[in-house]
Amino acid sequence: MNTFHEPTPGRAHWVYTHPRRNSLNRHLLRAGTSALTEHFDVTVSDLYAEGFDPALSDRDLGSLSTVDGNVSDLAGQAYARGEVEPEVRREQERLAASELLVLQFPLWWYGPPAMLKGWLDRVLQTGFAQGETDEASGLPRRYGDGRLLGRKALIIVTAGDDQRTLGPRGVSGDLESLLFPLTHGALWYVGVEALDLHVVYEADGIGEAGREHEGRRLAERIKGLSAERPRSYRRMLGGDYDRATRALVDTVNPGRTDLAIHLGD
């Protein structure tokens, strides 16, 4: 059964995650959505302002909330029954309709805010975004083969550290690796291809002139998105991974264990 969600050309969904109304992130939101609406029909979810509840709980299981079993499986059954919480269904409908997903957030404790993690937990529900099996191999359809194929994602992140501190040898860790659970473990898992990160470094000390500069830089990036190619992660069923162990075969990047081995050649 083909349950792929076909995106609508020219639609974009922007998920904004910051609690302050006069923040640098709010300025970037205004500049970015203004630029994006020149090319896309844009919906925006302001998770803090709208009071989105990030906690996956029994209510996400619908009438199965008292049934014992795996939470992901039960959530999938609830989705199949149409028992989806209104705020989650709204996000799923917006995401399903869009060819571009924008995720904007500050880097807190070297990861996205809990609010955004909870959005992923609840919205990328079994049955909606993933949870099927490839008939030929018997393996799960994931990592480049989920139900949200055909979409790209732009991740906008503000960070207090400078670029060297968040670089490959920086004390805070490489930002690409820190966000690998998002770009690969969540987005690529369900078939969404991530574009290169858009990062504002040293965001804590940025002044008004810096805000204006970063707003213009983001707007220029957005204007050129159509010409960008997403990062090419390897597909789990594409031949690079052993189907029994789900680890890279020995001939692919032999001897390496860094996360970049999962990028295609």
Residue pLDDT, tens place only, 48-73: 999 999 999 999 999 999 999 999 99
What CA–CA distance (Å, rounded) separates 186 from 79? Answer: 19
90 with 2: CB under 8 angstroms? Answer: no
pLDDT of residue 39: 92
What the block records as the tokens of 61 is 């299981």
pLDDT of residue 1: 40
pLDDT of residue 3: 66
Q: Where are the domains of the chain?
A: 8-231
**Residues ≥6 apart with Cβ < 8 Å to 156:** 28, 32, 102, 103, 104, 105, 198, 200, 218
What residues pair up with 105 in beta bridges, in sequence order? Answer: 157
What the block records as the tokens of 204 is 């804590």
What the block records as the tokens of 186 is 């969540």
99 with 152: CB under 8 angstroms? Answer: yes
Q: How many Å separate Cα 12 from the centre of its chain?
A: 13
What CA–CA distance (Å, rounded) separates 196 from 154? Answer: 7
pLDDT of residue 205: 87
pLDDT of residue 140: 80
DSSP letter (8 states) at residue 230? -
Q: Which CATH number is correct for 8-231, 3.40.50.360, 3.40.50.2000, 3.90.226.10, 3.40.109.10?
A: 3.40.50.360
**Which residues in the chain land under pLDDT 50?**
1-2
pLDDT of residue 2: 47
Q: Could you tell me the pTM of the whole model? A: 0.93
